[in-house]
Amino acid sequence: MITVKKVSSKKELKEYVLFSFELFKDNPNWIPPIIAEELETFDKTKNPAFHSAEAHFYLAYKEGKIVGKLAAIINWDEVKILKKSKVRFGWFDVIDDIEVTKALLEKVYELGRQHHLEMVEGPIGFSNLDKVGVLVEGFEEMGNMVTWYSMPYYKDHFEQLGLVKEKEYVESSFSFTNIDPAPFMKISKLIQERYQLRAINFTKTKDIMPYVDEMFDLFNETYAKLQSFVAINQVQKEYFKKKYISFINPEYIKFILDKDDKMVAFAIVMPGFSDALKKAKGKLFPFGFYHLLQARKHSKEAVFYLIGVTPEYQSKGITAIIFEEYYKIFKAKDINTCVRTPELEENNAIHNLWKHFNSKITKRRRTYSKKL
């Protein structure tokens, strides 16, 4: 018999996080999160997402053993401001038993019906900066710190239970060592001169901070037309500023300004932390922090986390300027692989930025939906 229990204590919340460690313990492609970071994400007193969202965490049990987990989420900005009558679910992991998935999803449906919402979608997090989707291709590829890994049967469970594809995302990579920089350097110079643009680079995190609010405003503007987008509010900006910006190599953050010093593009890249996170095994101490620090300094992989270009400049060759700036850093750090994290299949503006880089699609992931 399957029972589903709402998480109601810190002990149960930790069990919620640790279930994934047990489920994937023999899978070499799953990347464990830092346990303390995951718990903070679910802490209503620390994560500002809870200012505009509510979440309920559930554990499924069979014969006294945890066999699945899921978070039922309502983003109230999405419902009230964007008028999207939707309940979300995320942080979903489960054994290969469709009855467990069915029992967990029922809790999401209950929450949606309680608030008279019209549909359910998942897996997605609180906001557009959270992880998204289940894999439908690329199970043999190693994950990374900004994506969920999932078993092939996840999508099968959803489809057998009547959920349908809502959105599809692609992930890809390209070799940095095979790129001839000359054409990009030439185009970059022409674009900068034609539109009176300039790139600014950083060596210290404190110098980045005055630009971060404007960067998030540009992020909101860049993605506003996508059907899934919910703007990042001021409280979230402050949270992400403190939590993430200080963690990223300052030289991996690039801003492009126009002649009036208005930001027209930005890009954030992170070192590849996958191997370091596997070694850390979910813990910063005693050695996890050391592994992450080493990856921050020496990783040969660069992961493109966020990129945004104001609509006015999306077809004007801004990529060439961004690439020129990264080329100098990547060459110095001996980077050999560049990874593009999940991008909506419909986001042609972003795909066009990469059209000259011979990217290879490595993974596809989806969110699934159902009418209530």
Query: Is 99 exposed, middle or buried (CB count within 10 Å of its CB: 0-12, 13-18, 19+)?
Result: middle
Tokens (6 digits) for 156: 């099968």
For the domain 2-168, what is the CATH code?
Answer: 3.40.630.30
Nearest residue to 93 via CA among 15, 41, 8, 11: 15
The two beta strands, 119-122 and 86-94, are parallel
pLDDT at residue 227, rounded to an integer: 67
pLDDT at residue 355, rounded to an integer: 76
Q: Which CATH architecture has domain 180-356?
A: 3-Layer(aba) Sandwich (3.40)
Tokens (6 digits) for 369: 């939906």
The residue extents of the domains of the chain are 2-168, 180-356
pLDDT in single tens digits along all 372 residues of the chain: 999 999 999 999 999 999 999 999 999 999 999 999 999 999 999 999 999 999 999 999 999 999 999 999 999 999 998 899 999 999 999 999 999 999 999 999 999 999 999 999 999 999 888 999 999 999 999 999 999 999 999 999 999 999 999 999 999 999 988 888 888 889 899 999 999 999 999 999 999 999 999 999 999 888 877 766 888 888 888 888 887 888 889 999 999 999 999 999 999 999 999 999 999 999 999 999 999 999 999 999 999 998 899 989 988 888 889 989 999 999 999 999 999 999 888 877 777 777 778 889 999 999 999 999
pLDDT at residue 45, rounded to an integer: 92
pLDDT at residue 347, rounded to an integer: 78
Measured distance CA(190)–CA(195) in Å, rounded: 9
pLDDT at residue 349, rounded to an integer: 72
Cβ-contact 34, 247 below 8 angstroms: no
3-state percent helix, strand, coil for the chain, nearest multiple of 5:
40, 30, 35
Same CATH topology for 2-168 and 180-356?
yes
Q: Is the pTM of this model over 0.95?
A: no
pLDDT at residue 269, rounded to an integer: 94
C-alpha distance across the termini of the chain, in Å: 25
Cite the DSSP H helix spans in the chain: 10-23, 35-41, 76-80, 98-114, 152-160, 182-195, 205-223, 234-243, 274-280, 288-298, 318-333, 348-353
pLDDT at residue 72, rounded to an integer: 98
Measured between alpha carbons, how far is residue 143 from residues 40, 96, 146, 303, 305 in Å? 22, 20, 8, 11, 14
